[in-house]
Amino acid sequence: MTFDSFLSSPSSSSSSFSSSLVYYNLVLATCFFEQLDPVGPKNHTPRSEISKRKWASEECYIGEKRQRASTNQNQINLLTQLQQQQEGPNLPQQHLRPPLPPLPPPTAAAVTAASGSAQLYSEHYLQQLAMMNACTKFSDNYDVKEELGKGAFSVVRRCVHKTTGLEFAAKIINTKKLSARDFQKLEREARICRKLQHPNIVRLHDSIQEESFHYLVFDLVTGGELFEDIVAREFYSEADASHCIQQILESIAYCHSNGVVHRDLKPENLLLASKAKGAAVKLADFGLAIEVNDSEAWHGFAGTPGYLSPEVLKKDPYSKPVDIWACGVILYILLVGYPPFWDEDQHRLYAQIKAGAYDYPSPEWDTVTPEAKSLIDSMLTVNPKKRITADQALKVPWICNRERVASAIHRQDTVDCLKKFNARRKLKVRFALQTQLLILDPYFSRILKIS
């Protein structure tokens, strides 16, 4: 039944509108679902009686103006005005929810024959509609706890869900300080994180927009950084490095299969789910991530200097292979405790990267297996078209058969070097924050990264 025919029916008289919100919400729901599925089923046999008590108790109110066809605009405005008169003019803040999936074909259980005035949609969609229109603020669902971290325009705090008692990490962004372009980047990050659900990726559970703040509610990962955990271990071997890079590659392969390029792989974004032994590695911070397809490439300088690929530094078009280059740098560090490219002068550092000038000096590399070096070489290939992919790297015997191929000898020299490497990068982070060095930010065009 169309909107016009519904309004012309006897059941939609003026007395019905003034009596309750039942028909207001029902019609709004009908129009909303017709917008989602304009070519969906419209010849369902009407049902004689809708569960009015359920609608009256929920009193769902769609607070956002929804773009409608010109033929329906006047009717929608009329319904909205009538409902605002009863509920008040102030519109509540809304959850940012992903769009509902298309309506399924009608079934006997979902639609029955009767003489009602509107179509009956499945219980799933009614629940989703109620969820979308819930008058909820962040503080209604979460208790905010201590601060976990802080950025230029955001702060990360531990929070507890009031109903379930589950703990999360809430990134609270002050949107008043964001430009229109910065806000678009924030929305892009939320959109990307919302669709990525993988055991090795920090998951976004909720995204709430209020007047002055945007709340991103993520997994609470309590294990700290992967590199800090390695130096605290009593035993660390090449096989352990293989296991670490496997989990990183699993997350990257999943991202690439979903058309996402991270663009900022580095130790600070490799976290552990918990402090338990063998906890999963979690990839975090998708502030610089982009959405691509196989037929397009990006331009633009984004990332952290020591992990940038040659094509980015050369200002060439780039895509998914930039993440594999960063994985090669990380694997090199995992095996010996220092990076393949290093120079105090950034120009010389970039020249090394663009030329792919790295080596395997003695004695630290003498005990590393040839298979591990071969994988690094395939990742640090200057030509992105010849660079190995994440899926291909996961099939390398050094990763998929590590028990047989990778060395199990304790690498104390690697742990010692990694301690110095961690101390150096932490010092540079503090120095960058104090001097306000501007390179590129996950949320804004002026953020702090280290050279």
Q: Which residues does the annotation mark as catalytic?
A: 264
What is the 3 state secondary structure string of the chain? CCHHHHHHCHHHCHHHHHHCCHHHHHHHHHHHHHHHCCCCCCCCCCCCCCCHHHHHHHCCCCCCCCCCCHHHHHHHHHHHHHHHHHHCCCCCCCECCCCCCCCCCCCCCCCCCCCCCCCCCCHHHHHHHHHHCCCCCHHHHEEEEEEEEECCCEEEEEEEECCCCCEEEEEEEEHHHCCHHHHHHHHHHHHHHHHCCCCCECCEEEEEECCCEEEEEEECCCCCEHHHHHHHCCCCEHHHHHHHHHHHHHHHHHHHHCCEECCCCCHHHEEECCCCCCCCEEECCCCCCEECCCCCCECCCCCCHHHCCHHHHCCCCECCHHHHHHHHHHHHHHHHCCCCCCCCCHHHHHHHHHHCCCCCCCCCCCCCCHHHHHHHHHHCCCCCCCCCCHHHHHCCHHHHCHHHHCCCCECHHHHHHHHHHHHHHHHHHHHHHHHCCCCCCCCCCCCCCCC
Residue numbering of the annotated binding site for ATP = 171
